């Protein structure tokens, strides 16, 4: 009994740390003036999200999040930021005022959504709790779901990634072919 | 059967100390073997056969001045080697050493953490370890460090892809991402280096590049970039970066032994860790042999090889293995 | 240059074969390589057979030294304190070993064959002050002997100062 409640306390403690780290690093992303620190805060955000996934027994998603998002995509972010660095003419410096208005509207929409979800949960009209078997979150279960229930979404996503990759290559090749013609 | 939490703690303490000792004596092994490959003795003054040389190096590094560049960003500069070393050590938690033992009604697992995602957890830790280099190089506020960090991380990220794809064949044959199950499957059927020899070859190339060892060791080539991302690090901070590099090499060697050479399987089963250690020793010696025998690759040759040769070969290996596995079933 | 995979694999065989050969390193303190007879090591000041020093404090060696590391202060020979075989003797004679380049010009410049460069080379010290050798240290015999290769093979004629007093 004591061990079970000690386990619950541990889960609560980890959840508190991860949730506050998530929120804190999210705020830090938008408040640091040095863009490199913002990117590092975003990595912290993704890491605490991975911890939250682990608390939800979604271990494959947590590992994939760290491996792909925090481990590869953010490295690309850091590359660009480290090379360009904090300069006045950086793409993220300044910006038109309609961006600020759009940001406020988006934050308002998120707030309305959160209030609606909390209200629905309090009134008990959300869907039934999910059935979690012992194989929930394991790679074999996710693979089975990808190839049976969610096959269409899986294949469409892979085609979208392929199109993005080909587009990136074409854009890069296009830029390179333009340069020699713009020479002296 | 589940493992009691205090057994896990004791195992963790023992394992971390063993890995650190293994790192120290891997440096000794490397220097002695490189010396013997190059027709000279290695270190043989500090203690018999130079066995106290790692202790001497450790004492020297601890007493050396860990200088702190004034222009560096304090927190990332100090945290970078810690992140590198911590992720390198943590990745060792999922390597299976034995079949599991039962001592007086307590079950002891063969590995520290028996999770269903063991393999990608290891790769995830490796991806985070890349940040130690890139953040350390940027936070040093030095042109050499930044360029070295960029080159290092481009190389590491490129070869991570081939590394992950090369083990896909093993995962298909082992029917699991859990390393203990892959080792068990190899005990039942066949050691995977025989059907997956292409995968093993790709893994060896990618692992050599992932740990930035020769011939892919441009990140630490002194004549090219002063010292790359650890230019502005001295004393024990540099020692931490070296720790991370060698422990990465030990971890990837352990992974190769686990995935392709059936981990702890040997003639006498309860002695599992001994066979694992012997195979690990041979694998690490192989990496040192490669370092002694092949010249360094130029950076564009390195990147071209990673993307244009290794990645297609790894992909084709995975596809052919998938077809064969389905066809045999 | 096209890749040569077979030659790379042959390279592995070469390094592997070296494992079974004996290393060619000469282990220093246990084995000291014999020096040639004219090796320029630590300086030595010489004396006549009757105990008088050959050095008269003329400072020609200090003048010849390219590194300017010799300090000579001369004093008169008095009848009751006769040190050298001439009119004056070197009261202070110091060589700064950390500046000396062991070129041998002082040996060539000396008209009395008083200073020569001997064969001792194990003269490391722990502090720079200990490296300034005084006259007593230079007059002394070498503490550690080093092996010297056979002069007969190297055909070095006996120097004048060794055969004559």
Distance from CA of B115 to the nearest CA of A (A): 9
For β-strands B106-108 and B101-103, DSSP reports them as antiparallel
**C-beta atoms of A70 and B128 within 8 A:** yes
Q: A50, A74, A75, A136: which to substitute to probe chain B, counting the most B Cβ within 10 Å?
A: A75
C29 CB-near residues (< 8 Å, 6+ apart): none
Spatial CA neighbour of B242 closest among B34, B26, B46: B26
Q: Write the CA distances from B4 to B9, B11, B115, integer angstroms.
A: 9, 11, 15
C6 domain residue, yes or no: no
Segments of chain B with pLDDT less than 70? 1-2, 221-225, 269
CA angle A13, A14, A16 (to 5 degrees): 65
| One-letter-per-residue 3-state SS of B203-220 | HHHHHHHHCCCCCCCHHH
Residue A22 is predicted with a pLDDT of 95
Residue A181 is predicted with a pLDDT of 47
Domains held by chain B: number: 1
Distance from CA of C14 to the nearest CA of B (A): 8
Residue C96: which H helix or E strand, with range? strand C88-96
Distance from CA of C49 to the nearest CA of B (A): 45
Beta bridge partners of C70: C95
B281 domain residue, yes or no: yes
A79 CB-near residues (< 8 Å, 6+ apart): B134, B150, B153, B154
C14 domain residue, yes or no: no
**Chain A contact present for B135, CB below 8 A:** yes
Q: Do C and A touch, counting CB pairs below 8 Å (3 needed)?
A: no
Spatial CA neighbour of B203 closest among B134, B130, B122, B115: B122
**C-beta atoms of B36 and C11 within 8 A:** no
Q: Which residue of C has its CA nearest to B45?
A: C27
User: What mean pLDDT comes out for the span C55-59?
Assistant: 90
Residues of B in contact with C14 (CB under 8 A): 293
How many helices (H) and strands (E) in chain C? 6, 5
Distance from CA of A109 to the nearest CA of B (A): 34
B162 domain residue, yes or no: yes
| Helix, strand or coil, per DSSP, at residue C41 | coil
Q: Do A and B touch, counting CB pairs below 8 Å (3 needed)?
A: yes
As a residue count, chain B comes to 329
Residues of B in contact with C11 (CB under 8 A): 293-294
Contact status, residue B254 vs residue B145, Cβ threshold 8 Å: no
Give the domain extent around B265. 69-328
Residue C145 is predicted with a pLDDT of 79
Residue A182 is predicted with a pLDDT of 46
Mean pLDDT in order along chain A per 10 residues (184 residues): 69 94 93 88 95 90 92 90 70 65 88 90 71 78 88 93 92 71 46
Q: How far apart are CA B93 and CA B14, in angstroms?
A: 12
Spatial CA neighbour of A50 closest among A38, A39, A65: A65
Q: A44, A57, A82: which to substitute to probe chain B, counting the most B Cβ within 10 Å?
A: A82
Query: What is the ipTM metric for this complex?
Result: 0.86
Residue C28 is predicted with a pLDDT of 86
Q: Please give the backbone phi and psi of residue C102, each rounded to the nearest 5 degrees, phi first.
A: 55, 45
**C-beta atoms of A72 and B123 within 8 A:** no
Of the pLDDT bands very low, low, confident and very high (cuts 50, 70, 90), residue C165 is: low
Residue A130 is predicted with a pLDDT of 67
C10 domain residue, yes or no: no
Residues 176-235 of B with CB under 8 A from A: 176-177
Give the domain extent around C42. 27-163
Contact status, residue B306 vs residue B209, Cβ threshold 8 Å: yes
B234 domain residue, yes or no: yes
Distance from CA of A137 to the nearest CA of B (A): 9
**C-beta atoms of C15 and B289 within 8 A:** yes
Q: What is the pLDDT of residues A69-88, one digit of tens each?
A: 998 899 988 988 888 776 65
Q: Which tops the pLDDT comparison, C99 or B269?
A: C99
C9 domain residue, yes or no: no
Residue B273 is predicted with a pLDDT of 87
C101 domain residue, yes or no: yes
Spatial CA neighbour of B183 closest among B276, B112, B102, B267: B276
B52 domain residue, yes or no: no
**C-beta atoms of A40 and B115 within 8 A:** no
B4 domain residue, yes or no: no
Q: How far apart are CA B262 and CA B176, in angstroms?
A: 14
C4 domain residue, yes or no: no
Q: How far apart are CA B16 and CA B23, in angstroms?
A: 11
Spatial CA neighbour of B316 closest among B202, B214, B188, B236: B202
Q: A34, A139, A169: which to substitute to probe chain B, counting the most B Cβ within 10 Å?
A: A139
Considering only CB atoms, B40 lies closest to which of C8, C14, C25, namely: C25
Phi-psi region of C33 (alpha: psi -120 to 50; beta: other; left: phi over 0): beta
Q: Which residue of C has its CA nearest to B295?
A: C8
Domains held by chain C: number: 1
B268 domain residue, yes or no: yes
**C-beta atoms of A63 and B121 within 8 A:** yes
Q: Which residue of C has its CA nearest to B33?
A: C19
The number of angstroms, rounded, from the C-alpha of C142 to the middle of its chain's C-alpha atoms is 10
Residue C109 is predicted with a pLDDT of 93
Residue A94 is predicted with a pLDDT of 61
Residue A20 is predicted with a pLDDT of 96
Beta bridge partners of B101: B108
**C-beta atoms of A70 and B127 within 8 A:** yes
Sign of CA dihedral C91, C95, C96, C97: negative
* pTM assigned to the model: 0.85
Residue C114 belongs to domain with CATH number: 3.30.70.3270
DSSP state of B232: T
DSSP state of C78: B
Distance from CA of B116 to the nearest CA of A (A): 6
B98 domain residue, yes or no: yes
């Amino acid at each position: 009994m004591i061990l079970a409640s000690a386990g619950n306390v541990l889960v609560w403690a980890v959840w508190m740390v991860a949730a506050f780290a998530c929120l804190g690093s999210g705020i830090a992303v938008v408040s640091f003036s040095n863009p490199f620190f913002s990117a590092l805060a975003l990595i912290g955000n993704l890491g605490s999200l991975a911890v939250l996934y682990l608390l939800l027994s979604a271990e494959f998603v947590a590992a994939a999040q760290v491996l792909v998002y925090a481990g590869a995509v953010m490295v690309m972010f850091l590359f660009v930021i480290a090379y360009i660095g904090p300069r006045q003419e950086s793409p993220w410096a300044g910006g038109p005022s309609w961006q600020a208005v759009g940001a406020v509207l988006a934050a308002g929409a998120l707030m309305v959504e959160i209030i609606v979800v909390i209200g629905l949960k309090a009134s008990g009209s959300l869907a039934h709790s999910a059935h979690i078997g012992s194989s929930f979150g394991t790679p074999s279960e996710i693979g089975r779901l990808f190839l049976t229930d969610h096959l269409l979404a899986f294949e469409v996503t892979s085609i979208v990634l392929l199109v993005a990759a080909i587009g990136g290559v074409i854009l890069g090749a296009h830029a390179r072919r333009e340069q020699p013609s713009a020479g002296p | 059967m589940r493992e009691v939490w205090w057994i896990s703690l004791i195992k963790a303490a023992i394992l971390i100390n063993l890995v650190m000792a293994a790192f120290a004596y891997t440096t000794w092994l490397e220097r002695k073997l490189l010396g013997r490959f190059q027709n000279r003795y290695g270190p043989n003054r500090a203690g018999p056969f130079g066995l106290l040389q790692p202790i001497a190096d450790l004492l020297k590094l601890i007493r050396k001045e860990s200088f702190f560049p004034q222009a560096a960003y304090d927190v990332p500069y100090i945290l970078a080697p810690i992140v590198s070393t911590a992720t390198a050590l943590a990745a060792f938690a999922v390597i299976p050493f034995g079949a599991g033992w039962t001592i007086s009604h307590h079950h002891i697992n063969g590995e520290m953490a028996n999770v269903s995602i063991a393999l990608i957890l290891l790769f995830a830790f490796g991806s985070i370890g890349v940040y130690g280099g890139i953040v350390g190089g940027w936070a040093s506020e030095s042109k050499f460090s930044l360029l070295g960090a960029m080159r290092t991380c481009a190389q590491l990220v490129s070869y991570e892809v081939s590394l992950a794809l090369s083990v896909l064949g093993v995962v298909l044959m082992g029917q699991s991402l859990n390393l203990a199950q892959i080792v068990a499957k190899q005990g039942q059927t066949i050691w995977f280096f025989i059907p997956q020899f292409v995968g093993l070859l790709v893994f060896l190339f990618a692992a050599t590049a992932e740990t930035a060892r020769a011939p892919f060791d441009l990140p630490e080539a002194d004549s090219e970039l002063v010292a790359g991302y650890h230019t502005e690090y001295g004393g024990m901070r540099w020692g931490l970066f070296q720790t991370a590099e060698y422990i990465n090499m030990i971890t990837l060697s352990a992974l190769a032994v686990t995935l392709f050479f059936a981990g702890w399987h040997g003639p006498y089963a309860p002695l599992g860790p001994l066979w694992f250690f012997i195979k690990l020793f041979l694998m690490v010696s192989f990496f040192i042999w490669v370092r002694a025998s092949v010249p360094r690759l130029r950076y564009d040759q390195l990147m071209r090889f990673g993307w244009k040769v290794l990645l297609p070969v790894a992909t084709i290996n995975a596809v052919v293995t998938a077809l064969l596995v389905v066809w045999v079933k | 240059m096209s890749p040569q995979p077979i030659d790379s694999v042959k390279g592995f065989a070469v390094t592997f074969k070296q494992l079974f050969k004996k290393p060619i390193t000469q282990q220093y303190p246990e084995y000291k390589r014999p020096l040639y007879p004219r090796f320029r090591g630590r300086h030595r000041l010489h004396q006549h057979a009757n105990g008088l020093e050959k050095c008269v404090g003329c400072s020609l060696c200090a003048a010849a030294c390219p590194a300017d590391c010799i300090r000579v202060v001369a004093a008169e020979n008095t009848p009751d304190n006769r040190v050298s075989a001439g009119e004056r003797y070197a009261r202070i004679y110091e060589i700064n070993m950390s500046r000396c380049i062991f070129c041998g010009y002082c040996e060539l410049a000396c008209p009395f064959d008083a200073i020569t460069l001997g064969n001792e080379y194990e003269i490391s010290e722990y502090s720079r002050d200990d490296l300034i050798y005084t006259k007593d240290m230079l007059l002394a015999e070498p503490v550690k002997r080093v092996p010297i290769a056979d002069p007969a093979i190297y055909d070095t004629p006996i120097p004048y100062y060794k055969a004559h007093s």
